[in-house]
Structure 1
Amino acid sequence: MSERPLLVFDFDGVIVDGMAEYWWSSWHASCSLGADGSGLTSDVVPDAFRALRPWVHHGWEMVLLAAELPGLDLQHWINDYAGQQRRAMDLRGWQPDQLQSVLDHTRQEAVRSDRSAWLALHRPFPGLVERLQSLDGEGVDWAVLTTKSEAFTAELLESLTLKPWRLDGREAGAKPEVLRRLQSQRRVHSFIEDRRATLETVCTTPGLESLQCWLVRWGYLKPSDLIGLPPRIQLIDLIAFAKPLAHWQ
């Protein structure tokens, strides 16, 4: 077993900011379903869409948001996201599987027609690429654990000239279980994620008691995500992340 510490990173919202891609694909998907996209363009992410991204758990939800945006009351959605979502779906007569299928097709067509432009919609957060590339010099390995497909994530990482020690996509299973398997192979030092609920689940998973969890300030966070964090979940910002691992705090 290697003695080098291993850092495990989520991908979206930690290494890469996919907001431009989320909006581009969601807007095109909603328009293909007959939604009124007037006043909006695919290349400018609306503030309301950006603000509601932390509430999104599944891709299809973004298609609904894109369709609703022209008349959306942001505060109502923030106060009752699930309720507003149900009402909007019922009024439109849409189903989650239907929206997910259209979104997947939109993305597939974008990749087929102009792959390089599609990849360019995924932008690394400032300094992330250079920092990850520098970890080897500190004697630290790093891995990626994401809910994106492994093949697509691998292509994005390659486009950024990033080579993790290991990559696990959604096909590998739930994040806590993947982390448990990794713990049996390596000394996993930390898990770095932008979804508080995921970190809370990891913290309560047997076998992961020694794993340090970090919630990144630069990710897709709700204001409430920063309040009353459990002791094992610590916040980290880009300034602290740029420091050697021994100095993270």
Structure 2
Amino acid sequence: MNHRPLLVFDFDGVIVDGMAEYWWSAWQACRRLDAAPEDLSPDEVPDAFRLLRPWVHHGWEMVLLAAELPVLDPQVWLQSYGEAQASALHRRGWQPEQLQAALDASRDGAVRQNRSAWLALHRPFPGLVERLRQFEAEGVDWAVLTTKTQVFTAELLNSLGLHPWRLDGREAGAKPQVLLQLQKQRTLCGFVEDRRATLEAVRSTPGLERLPCFLVSWGYLRPQDQSNLPPGIALLHPDRFRAPLAQWP
């Protein structure tokens, strides 16, 4: 067993800001479904999409949001996101699987046709690349665990010159289960995420109750996500993230 400590990171919303890519790809996926919001530009993220992004859990939801954006009331979706989503799916006769397939096809086409332009839609959060490179000097390895597909995430990491000890994408399964597998191989010193519900699921998983979890303050957070965090989940601000790992909350 490798005894160097391992710090595990989510990717989008933690390492990179993918908001522009999410909107662009969702718009292109809508076009594949003959539902592109023509009055909105794929190159400029609408305020309503940015506002609702923290409620999104799966990629296909962004395709639905993009299609609905010209007619939806953001406050209705904020108050009852699940109900509004289910109603829109039913009205359009869509299934999540077809929306996810359209999204994946849009991304795949973008990578093949103009890789550099697609990569440019993702921007690392300030200081993240430099900080990740510093962990080596602290004797800490780092890994990436994301709901993005492995191939897309690998493309992005390579473009940033980042090489994690391990990369697990959507294909690897649920994050708690992947963390349990990693724990058998490495000494985990923390999991860094921007989705509170994911961290709560990790902490409630048998075998992961003592895994330190960190919610980044710079991610796609809902207003209430930073308040009254349960034991074992600490809010991580940029200044603390830049400090040595031993000084994290």
Asked if TM exceeds 0.5, the reply is: yes
Equivalent residue, structure 1, for 2:94? 94
Q: Is the 8 A contact 2:190 2:213 kept in 1?
A: yes
Gaps of 5+ in 1: none
Residues in 1 aligned to 2:23 and 2:64: alpha-carbon distance in whole angstroms? 11
Which secondary structure does the structure 1 equivalent of 2:2 belong to?
Answer: coil
Residues in 2 aligned to 1:222 and 1:185: alpha-carbon distance in whole angstroms? 34
Cα deviations by residue, 1:202-222 (Å, 9 ceiling, x for unpaired): 111122232100011111111
Equivalent residue, structure 2, for 1:228? 228
Residues in 1 aligned to 2:177 and 2:237: alpha-carbon distance in whole angstroms? 27
Amino acid at match of 1:52: L
Q: Does 1:117 align with 2:122?
A: no
Residues in 1 aligned to 2:150 and 2:27: alpha-carbon distance in whole angstroms? 25
Q: Is the 8 A contact 1:199 1:233 kept in 2?
A: yes
Equivalent residue, structure 1, for 2:37? 37
Equivalent residue, structure 2, for 1:214? 214
Which secondary structure does the structure 2 equivalent of 1:4 belong to?
Answer: strand
Query: Cα distance, 1:82 vs. partner?
Result: 1.1
TM-score, length-scaled by structure 2: 0.95
Residues in 2 aligned to 1:22 and 1:163: alpha-carbon distance in whole angstroms? 23
Closer, same or farther in 2 for the Cα pair 1:109/1:77, shift >3 Å?
A: same
Q: Does 1:239 align with 2:210?
A: no
Q: Does 1:171 align with 2:177?
A: no
Residues in 2 aligned to 1:41 and 1:28: alpha-carbon distance in whole angstroms? 11
Amino acid at match of 2:41: T
Residues in 1 aligned to 2:222 and 2:37: alpha-carbon distance in whole angstroms? 26
What's the C-alpha RMSD, in Å, of the aligned pairs? Answer: 1.4
Equivalent residue, structure 2, for 1:82? 82
Closer, same or farther in 2 for the Cα pair 1:76/1:16, shift >3 Å?
A: same
Closer, same or farther in 2 for the Cα pair 1:248/1:34, shift >3 Å?
A: same
Query: Cα distance, 1:178 vs. partner?
Result: 1.4
Equivalent residue, structure 1, for 2:56? 56
Q: Is the 8 A contact 1:31 1:67 kept in 2?
A: no
TM-score, length-scaled by structure 1: 0.95
Q: Is the 8 A contact 1:14 1:216 kept in 2?
A: yes
Residues in 2 aligned to 1:63 and 1:171: alpha-carbon distance in whole angstroms? 20
Q: Does 1:129 align with 2:154?
A: no
Equivalent residue, structure 2, for 1:24? 24
Query: Cα distance, 1:94 vs. partner?
Result: 2.1
Q: Is the 8 A contact 2:28 2:36 kept in 1?
A: no
Which secondary structure does the structure 2 equivalent of 1:84 belong to?
Answer: helix
Query: Cα distance, 1:36 vs. partner?
Result: 5.4
Amino acid at match of 1:149: T
